[in-house]
A = this chain, B = another copy of it.
Amino acid sequence: MSSREPLTRDRIVDAAVRLIEREGVEAVSMRRLAAELGAGTMSLYNHVPNKAVLVDLAAERIMAQARPYHVDSDDWRDHFRAHARAIRELARAHPRAFVLLSTRRLSTEAGFRTIEVALRNFERAGFRGKIAVGMMRAMVSYLLGTLMREVATSPELGGIALSPYEDVDTSAFPLSAEVLDELGTYDHDHEFEFGLELMIAALERYRPD
């Protein structure tokens, strides 16, 4: 872990990103980071004002890793699907970091890249200006929501594992009881696509032409 290179903001942020991806934000501590870099704890403070902005910087770095999607189609729906799936892949590739990103505002270059692509797709679909922003926000909300739920329920992250509904008397909830098995089951692929089509259907309904 030791190294002869001098401490750099870059090196510190890199180490933070690696640690976040490996063990999650809660595993990040200044002491541990320093140890991993073979440096003294307080040396980090020569390059970073405090832990909060270090985490911000790490979030930004992760966001910058997002790669644009590519799709061969003129249909705006295909672009939506591809873009949404790309974002989902990002979330699944960095599940622990995603929760982090979702809380933060994306006012960086990388964030704008994503926004720009989305706006282009909305333009393709016939939405412009203010209405496009509203649509995008609704879309973002949906994506944020599903992906948060998907990440939160993935077992490898200490999410929900088994027998969630054991000690609740479901007799008072007849409709829930009817679909109890379904409520306890998650098919994330299917659910994501289902919701995505739902959103696209909604957009279609609002389209001018």
User: Which chain A residues have a beta carbon within 8 Å of chain B's beta carbons?
Assistant: 102-103, 105, 107-109, 112-113, 115-116, 119-120, 123, 129-130, 132-135, 137-138, 140-146, 148-149, 152-153, 160, 164-165, 168-170, 172-176, 178-179, 182-183, 191, 194-195, 198-199, 201-206
Contacts and interface: CB of A to CB of B under 8 A. Distances in A.
Contacts of A123: 175
Contacts of A170: 112
Nearest to A106: B164
Total copies of this chain within the assembly: 2
Q: What DSSP secondary structure best describes chain A's contact surface?
A: helix
Given A107-B168, A176-B112, A182 B130 contact: yes
Contacts of A195: 134, 137-138, 141
A115 B199 contact: no
A136 B146 CA distance: 12
Contacts of A132: 179
A125 to B, nearest CB: 13
Contacts of A115: 173, 176, 183
A130 B116 CA distance: 36
19 contacts: A105-B152, A108-B168, A112-B173, A119-B176, A119-B179, A120-B175, A129-B178, A129-B182, A133-B179, A133-B182, A133-B183, A134-B195, A137-B149, A145-B145, A145-B146, A148-B148, A198-B203, A201-B205, A202-B205
